[in-house]
Structures are given as C-alpha cells and as structure tokens.
C-alpha cells in the first residue's frame, strides 16, 4: 500500500495512530529541510497528514557529526527498549521492531548497507555510521544487520528494470559463487520477510518462484 493511501479514508480514521512509533532505518546526515533528507520525505508524504503523536516520531540529530548522530540515535532506542516501548528480541539483546520497511538499490544495497562495506560485519552496534557512502550524500547513519534481522516483519519494496538483476541475485541465486548482496543478507531470524516487486523489478526472477 502506498503511503498516501494511509492519509485517506478509511485508514486516516480507522488506524490507531497513537500506537505508532516512527524511526528511520537509515538517514542522510543533512538538515531536516534538505532535499536529501529521508525525514523530509516522510514528513511531506505522510507524517504531516496523519495524527501521529509528535513525540513518537524519532528523527536523528542533524546538527552533529555522523558518528555522534548514530551514537545519539542508538541511545534513544536503548532508552525505549528499557521502558518496553520497543520490544526486545528473545534470542539477542537487539530491539525487535514490529516492521522494518526497506528499499533496494541497483547494487543490492538496503538501508545504508552497501556491498563490500565494512559495516556489513558490524555485530555489536545497533546503529552505525558511514562517511564514505558510494551513493551521495556520503555521511549517513544506518541500522545494522542484526537489528534488521531481529524485526518481526521486514518488507523490501523494489520497482524498476534497473534493479531486476539485483532482485534476481538476492532471491534466486544460491551457492558459494553467488554475490552476497546486502539485500540477500536480510534474513529475519524469527520474523517474516516479504518482497513487494513491480513487474519490471521481477522481470529476471525464476518464474517458478514468482506469482503476480
């Protein structure tokens, strides 16, 4: 469902918005009114149009370095875990989010987890940072794979022909010689993973595994 549908009837009236808590799986370390800000995108498209409690919307501190922004964001999440606003995984100390929504790039990156980047190996931190993103802007914060894979539900939404090869690699290809794309590393430990693809993105999938 497109986010704009949530702003319309019946969802705008029937959803219990007071129970929603919003976080960013990754964010560009830019001002909140910057065109590259994921916060701005979400605010303009959804958050400003529905009655979500403002204090339930947790954006990053955009006035500090990427490293400090990641540290501060993890601190906020840890506080909410302590007060049980966010659940805890029963097999690790990671937060267990109800839903993590991801996109995917043509290179198979998800969140700000890029192929062959050292942050793919991060096991201890919940939120980490990078200053050398291969896709601009270079400074970003991102949830780590252990946090993503601890979620109850993970949805990956992909559209467009340019991403069809990466979709094929992430879903169809198995074996030691296949590229280990970040998207392929999204494997919820005790949660559900669902891919939402348009026909273009799914055009190179094994047809036996794909149904409209």
pLDDT tens by residue, 145-184: 999 999 999 999 999 999 999 999 999 976 666 668 999 9
Q: Per-residue pLDDT for 8 more than 90? A: no
Question: If pLDDT is split at 50, 70 and 90, which confidence band does 91 have?
Answer: confident
Mean pLDDT of all residues belonging to the chain: 92
State mean pLDDT over 83-111: 96
User: Is the model's pTM score more than 0.75?
Assistant: yes
Identify the burial level of 3 via C-beta atoms within 10 angstroms of its C-beta, where 0-12 means exposed, 13-18 middle and 19 or more buried: middle
Secondary element (H or E) of residue 96: strand 95-96
Higher pLDDT, 192 or 8: 192
Residue 201 Cα distances to 2, 159, 172, 206, angstroms: 17, 5, 13, 12
* Domains located in the chain, CATH noted: 3-209 (3.40.50.1360)
């Amino acid at each position: 469902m497109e986010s704009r549908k949530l702003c319309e009837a019946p969802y705008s009236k029937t959803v219990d918005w007071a129970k929603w808590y919003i976080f960013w799986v990754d964010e560009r370390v830019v001002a909140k009114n910057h065109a590259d800000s994921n916060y701005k995108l979400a605010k303009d498209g959804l958050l400003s149009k529905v009655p979500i409690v403002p204090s339930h919307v947790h954006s990053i501190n955009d006035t500090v370095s990427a490293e400090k922004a990641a540290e501060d964001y993890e601190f906020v999440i840890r506080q909410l875990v302590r007060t049980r606003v966010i659940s805890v995984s029963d097999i690790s100390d990671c937060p267990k989010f109800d839903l993590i929504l991801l996109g995917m790039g043509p290179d198979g990156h998800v969140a700000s987890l890029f192929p062959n980047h050292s942050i793919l190996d991060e096991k201890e931190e919940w939120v980490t940072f990078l200053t050398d993103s291969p896709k601009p802007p270079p400074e970003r914060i991102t949830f780590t794979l252990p946090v993503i894979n601890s979620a109850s539900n993970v949805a990956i939404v992909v559209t467009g022909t340019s991403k069809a090869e990466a979709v094929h690699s992430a879903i169809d290809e198995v074996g030691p010689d296949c590229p280990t794309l970040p998207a392929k590393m999204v494997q919820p430990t005790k949660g559900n993973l669902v891919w939402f693809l348009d026909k273009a993105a799914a055009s190179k999938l094994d047809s036996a595994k794909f149904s409209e």
